Structure 1
Amino acid sequence: MNQSIHGEGTAPEPEDRVTELIEQQTAISELLRAIANSPHDMQPIFDAILDSATRLCRADICSLRLSEESGLRRVAIRGDPLLVSQALSFPALAENGSHLSQIATSRLPTHIPDFAVVDGDLRDDFWKAVVNAGFRTSLFVPLLKDDEIVGIVTLGRKQVQPFTDRQICLFRDFAAQAAIALESTRRERQYREAQMALAHANRVATMGQFTASIVHEIKQPIATARNNAVAALRFLDRSPPDVAEVREALTCILDDNDRTNDIVDRIESLIKKAPPRKETVDLNAAILDVIALIHGELVNAGVTVATQLAGGLPYIQGDRVQLQQVMLNLIVNAIQSMNAVEDGKRELHISTVSMGPEGVGVAVRDTGQGLRPESLPRLFEPFYTTKPDGMGMGLSICLSIVEAHGGRLWATSCEPRGALFQFTILAD
């Protein structure tokens, strides 16, 4: 395969060059827009790269393969539907040692003006598949970041129409910027996924601490429903049957069933592993759900809860489960802090307030042991803990969630004892 760049040798006209630069900047802008609009899905980013590549180089088809341990895996393909259907028959993975892998290893653009006249020693199964699929001209451009191979973009044409020097240079510049954006996005996504997995593990571990009280919360309405069912049967055995009492007992059974379902739904929403999503959240309702979920644990710990939730609180855009995790962690920390208090009341005060254009504010205050001055600067650091059996991840996870929602989280000591945790979230 010829790695020299064939095409026009004449210098571009100034106006043509300006047009090309505008097209290149437009392509970069569209790629950045795709990155911003798809925080949890890489596919739109892949498609944006290929759409721009196809347009910049006037290609009929374009494919993207990303580098992995075993070779180059195809992740996206765009262009002429007939060519795309043919190209999809190619193996998804170009294994190490294959032609594509060798091209990528060269780290240089590889231009094939006409597949029909390549050297005989290159006419292998890959060449046959390409020719049979209807490709005549191709351009392969490796994607590099810090000289590491990120992937490779393949451009193809149905006609024998070599890519020009200007098209190749234009796309090589675009590919260099796309590779940086792609790899940075991929690494950020991996970091975010690791954070999500850690946050999920934290939620499951926290809920596991309350297994006994949760079981009690569920068994209580079930037992009440059974008692009402027994009572309904007795009322039916009367002569004549007491229909009014039966109806009241059945109504109570339905209420108990709904209460059980509510508890199970809250547990399921908190412990399920799902990607974060933006939705309209009633923060007051989300807080009340968390309090209801761990009501049994609060009672067992002898904690009295008082709420002061602002009326007309503006809705916020965010992930309800993640925000509930912040509340869950702060309430659990408050319970554990107050468990060590033998004298005095154990009181938990939760409040919300509208902060106008700044969003909403939440405060969680307890009457526990309080915070040592030396611990305040490190309170939200990963793996820093003041608990003998703590992992030091709960508050760190809370901080990352709050900051991801455009807010901030901080803590202060209270007098004569206790701690106050506050966070803000941007309003919708």
Structure 2
Amino acid sequence: MHNAEILHAEKCPVIKMIGSEPAVADAIRENCPDDVDLETLDDQADLSSHLEEDGQPVDVVLLGTSPDLAVQIAQRIHTIDKFLPVIILTRPEACRPLRRTLMFSPFLGSEVIPWSSEDLTALPNALMEAVNRRRQRQRHHHALCRAQVRFEKLPHLKPELNQYLDQLLDCAPIGVMTIDASGVILTLNHQAQEILNATNRITLGGALNDLFSKDDHPVIANLRTEIATGRSPSAQRTVRLRETDSVRKYIAITMAPLCYRNTMRQPGLMVILQDVTSRVDAEAERRDAEEKLRKHVKTLRKFHEISTREDICFDEKLSGVLKLACAQFGLAAGMVTSINGEEFDIIASVGSMDLDGLQNAGLHSNRFCFRAIKSKEPYTYVGDGQGPNCSGINKSCETPVAYIGVRYLVNDIIEGTLCFWGNKAESDEFTDADKELIKMMGQWLGREWQRARSEARMRKLSSALEQAADAVMITDRNRMIEYVNGSFECMTGYSKEELIGRPAGVLRSGFHDQEFYNQIWRLISSGKAYRGELVNRKKDGSIYHEQRTITPLRDANGEITHFISTGHDITELVETQRQNRLHQSELTHVARLSTLGEMTSGLAHELNQPLCAITTFTQTCLRMLSAGEYKPDDLYYGLQQVLRQAETATEIFRRLRMFSRKGEIEECSVELGQIVGEIESFVESEALQNLINVHFDVPDRLPPVWADRIQLEQVLLNLVRNAMEAVSERDPGCRNVTITATRNEETEVTVDVRDSGHGCPPDIANRLFEPFFTTKEKGMGVGLGISQSIVEAHGGRLWLEETSPQGSVFRFTVPQAKGEKDE
């Protein structure tokens, strides 16, 4: 009968579901017969009430919960009804682990089946088959119950005993046969024929031993002896059925003496047969799983021992791990490869395979390692070496039929593969435990190489710090010294032992105030680097100048943990610069005196005017006093003019004294218009004498510049006087000198000195700024060179912008004052 016909002849099948999604329930309803009672329950308590109450029995339970909860519910169900079918709906990858869990779970019968959630199409048929098995078992149970009642009536129904017995045996769900004392088969029921794969015609009259494997004949003989001698009223053994068509079957045989009610003679034995192949296979699988688990645990323990040993180098560890994995996987060779473009280089290997032959035969171009590289999970292959994955392998070498490999990463970059080859796999496929093991080994390999490279890099950095010419100091975030290198010891005179653990301020000389150090601390605490000069004190008390850079160090979270300070002693450089400044100041002073000497005629004329006026007004006042004819107002006016001319002369001497003074450079914010006014006063008399038109074009809103006032006057005066000398050979009406100033790119002020002279020939123009080069008969040749040095010392430039027969333009730039730059 078909499933639908069987179900129609009985009550409607009842299927209870717990934890199943609505989509799953809908799919089952669409594919199940219409008379199926499919009900969704909320929890386990509802199901327990359905199982324990009197009413329509439950045929199948479908669990859609998590595997762990599903196992607990199944155990609860089977404490109530051990033969109720339970189907657990789970993810495909969890089916195999769930089967293993069910195998070792107590209180569970054989009717607990894991089912993949991706195979919902076949689920309704599986449910119907489970319903059929459930009801078939119930029918057998009812038949046995009825047979037991009839056995009680047998003494009253002796004429019908044989007929009832035959019908009973044929309906029994187990195999039953009778044999005589010599082991000849007398009778057997229908179920026994199916179990033994034999017909009544072939089996009756045959020997019992002929049905089973020769290896189990002694077991059957011992069993018959135990029953015949009375050592055991009944006994059971598991034997193997004789193989036919390579079918392997295990039978559980139970023997008991067959005797009449009114006599004790034993005409033979009753043999109960049960097919226990599934149970034996399950036990074998369980033993195999336990053995593999023990082996895997042993391998993990050994791997941990090898990887954590401190008395061997990394190469020895790697060799030990490769050998361990070869033994675990049952493969002949293991190797570590490094990807090199389109090739793989073998960098470590163990095993008995011809690795050189594999490399020469094209291992670097086959697809195994490339597939392992592209996959996050381990890649495995088991075959005969003739499939598509074996392209590029020379068949003349040992052909690998099994491969397992995984990529390894160093610093999150794929470096190569950890892989194993063999001519013969231990089993048909690699287990999940094997894949997890090689994956763990690959992760260990990547971490070890990353650590080895980091240690090598740290050794290089440490060696570089120790041998660095600059002094290096590392402090914690509280500015306590943790490390100094040899150069720091040499520079300060302190040893490492004297410095480590002490505050960084141990070197302070007192030259800088506390606010200076506070500014540095605020700067580096904000994450910025400090670069500047410090004046510190050595161990012997001597003062030294240091060019130092202090940089904060951050951890992975961006928090500042340390500060690294690098520097070098610049005491000699500072002293050299001081001497250079003195020499420069001396030379500049000489150049200014030389310029004043060249301006003697103009200065004498400028001084002669107020002196002559003083003489004239003084004589006039004296004559008025001598004649006795004077008015007080006239005398007062004359004396006022004398005072005014004296002040004029005093101002001329002040300018000369200021211009000729000797001193250090004092840079400050200077108004360029004031400097131009001073220069205009200096050259006014000389320009008038030589009929030179000097024009100053300086805007009123021009920003101040950052410079030394006297030195900037010297530069501008040198350029203006050179321009005046250049135009002196021109006709009187063509002697023009123009001084202009403009703001340049918001950061500098540009000054141009333009003349209408004859220009400079190329050979002279290229040498204008050379020291002691001059075209003047009495010149020293230092004016332009010193002017260029002064401008460059201020952070600007001085150059000949253009020259032609119509004139030349000298240009220089000076940085704006600091406040103006910020604006």
| Aligned partners of 1:310 and 1:354 also within 8 Å | no
Q: Shift in Å at residue 230 of structure 1?
A: 2.4
Q: Does 1:403 align with 2:812?
A: no
Deviations 1:195-243 (A, max 9, x none): 2211111111111112232122112201101211222344556777322
Answering whether residue 661 of structure 2 is matched by residue 272 of structure 1, we say yes
Cα distance per residue 1:19-71 (max 9 Å; x no partner): 859966995999999xx9xxxxxxxx999322xx3xxx6xxxx533xxxxxxx
What does residue 613 of structure 2 align with?
224
- Change over 3 Å in CA distance of 1:413–1:26 after alignment to 2: farther
- 2:661 maps to a residue whose letter is K
- Separation in 2, partners of 1:246, 1:259: 20
Pair 1:291–1:400, CA change in 2 (3 A): same
**How is 1:194-233 mapped onto 2 (pairs within 5 angstroms)?**
194-233=583-622
- Partner residue, 2:739: 350
What is the Cα deviation at residue 385 of structure 1? 3.2
**Which residue, out of 688, 692, 701, partners 1:299?**
688
Q: Is the contact made by 1:236 and 1:242 (CA closer than 8 Å) also made in structure 2?
A: no
Q: Which amino acid aligns with 1:399?
A: Q
SS, match of residue 696 in structure 2: strand
CA distance in 1, matches of 2:618, 2:599: 29
Deviation at 1:320, TM superposition (A): 0.8
Aligned to 2:649: 260
Q: CA deviation at 1:274?
A: 1.2
Q: CA deviation at 1:16?
A: 4.9
Q: Deviations over 1:144-179 (max 9, x none)?
A: xxxxxxxxxxxxxxxxxxxxxxxxxxxxxx9x966x
Aligned residue number for residue 324 of structure 1? 713
**Aligned partner of 1:243: which letter?**
P
User: Could you tell me how far 1:182 is from its partner in structure 2?
Assistant: 0.2
**Percent identical across equivalent pairs?**
29
CA distance in 1, matches of 2:502, 2:669: 38
The alpha-carbon distance between structure 1 residues 239 and 318, as it changes in their structure 2 partners (threshold 3 A), is same
The 1:380/1:24 distance shift into structure 2, 3 A limit, reads: farther
SS in 2 for 1:258: helix
Give the CA deviation at 1:188.
2.0
Equivalent position of 1:419 in the other structure: 808
Whose relative contact order is higher, 1 or 2, with alpha carbons under 8 Å and at least 6 apart? 1
* Residue identity opposite 1:49 in structure 2: N
Deviates most, 220-229 or 405-414: 405-414
Do the aligned partners of 1:236 and 1:243 also contact (CA within 8 Å) in 2?
no
* Alignment partner, residue 49 of structure 1: 536
Distance change >3 Å, CA 230–CA 13, structure 1 → 2: closer
CA positional deviation for 1:329: 0.9
**SS of residue paired to 2:482:** helix
Task: Report the Cα offset of residue 398 of structure 1.
Answer: 0.8
Q: Contact 2:758–2:804 at 8 Å: present in 1 too?
A: no
Partner secondary structure for residue 738 of structure 2 = strand
Equivalent residue in structure 2 for 1:17, among 472, 478, 482: 482
Correspondence 1:162-201 to 2 at 5 A: 180-201=569-590
Residues 1:289 and 2:776 are matched in the alignment: no
Partner of residue 750, structure 2: 361
* Greater shift in the superposed pair: 404-413 or 239-248: 239-248
Match of 1:392 among 773, 778, 781: 781
Task: Flag the 1:22–1:207 CA change in 2: closer, same or farther, 3 A.
Answer: farther
Gaps of 5+ in 2: 1-473, 484-498, 517-531, 545-564, 818-823
Aligned amino acid, residue 63 of structure 1: G
Residue 383 (1) aligns with residue 791 (2): no
The structural deviation recorded for 1:408 is 1.5
- Distance between the aligned counterparts of 1:26 and 1:346, measured in 2? 67
Partner of 2:82: none
CA contact (8 A) 1:371 1:413 kept: no
- CA 1:32/1:289 → structure 2, altered by over 3 Å: closer, same or farther? same
- Cα displacement string for residues 57-95 of structure 1 (whole angstroms, at most 9, x for unaligned residues): 6xxxx533xxxxxxxxxxx7xxxxxxxxxxxxxxxxxxx
Distance 2:702 2:501 in 1: 48
Distance 1:26 1:32 in 2: 14
> Kindly tell me: are residues 223 and 190 of structure 1, through their superposed partners in 2, closer, same or farther at Cα, counting changes over 3 Å?
same
Task: Give 3-state SS (helix, strand or coil) of 1:294's partner.
Answer: helix
Partner-residue secondary structure (3-state), 2:772 = coil
Deviation at 1:331, TM superposition (A): 1.6
Q: Name the Cα RMSD after superposition.
A: 3.9
Distance in 1 of aligned mates of 2:694 and 2:688: 9
Find the aligned partners of 1:266 and 1:375 in 2 and give their Cα distance: 33
1:309 to 2:698 alignment: yes
- Output the CA distance in 2 between the equivalents of 1:277 and 1:188: 16
Distance across 2 between alignment mates of 1:224 and 1:259? 11
Instruction: Tell me the SS of whatever aligns to 1:357.
Output: coil
Shift in CA distance, 402/305, structure 1 to aligned 2, threshold 3 Å: same
**Using a 3 Å threshold, how does the CA distance of structure 1 residues 416 and 247 change in structure 2: closer, same or farther?**
same
Runs of 4+ with deviation above 4 angstroms: 12-16, 18-33, 234-240
Aligned to 2:633: 244
2:509·2:535 contact (CA, 8 Å) conserved in 1? no
Give, as a single letter, the amino acid of the residue that structure 2 aligns with 1:378: R
Letter in 2 for 1:187: T
How far apart are residue 410 of structure 1 and its match? Answer: 1.9
Match in the other structure for 1:63: 541
Q: 1:344 to 1:426 in 2, by over 3 A?
A: same
Which amino acid is the alignment partner of residue 315 of structure 1? Answer: P
Deviation at 1:256, TM superposition (A): 0.7
Looking at structure 1, the residues matched to 678 and 638 of structure 2 have their Cα atoms a distance apart, in angstroms, of: 27
For 1:302 and 1:26, the matched residues in 2 are separated by: 68
Does the aligned pair in 2 maintain the 1:281–1:318 contact within 8 Å?
Answer: yes
Supply the AA of the counterpart residue of 2:605: H
Matches for 1:136-175 after TM superposition, within 5 Å: none
Identify if the C-alpha distance between structure 1 residues 359 and 21 changes in structure 2 by more than 3 Å, giving closer, same or farther.
Answer: farther
Q: Call closer, same or farther: CA 1:234–1:307 in 2, change over 3 Å.
A: same
Query: Radius of gyration: which is bigger?
Result: 2
Deviation at 1:293, TM superposition (A): 1.9
Measured after TM superposition, the shift of residue 362 of structure 1 is 1.5
User: Secondary structure, in 3 states, of the residue corresponding to 1:340?
Assistant: coil
Tell me the CA shift for residue 421 of structure 1: 1.1
TM-score (norm 1): 0.59
Structure 1, residues 126-146: CA drift from partner, whole Å, max 9, x if none?
xxxxxxxxxxxxxxxxx9xxx
Distance 1:204 1:26, change over 3 A: farther
**What is the DSSP-based 3-state SS (H/G/I as helix, E as strand, rest coil) of the residue aligned with 1:49?**
strand
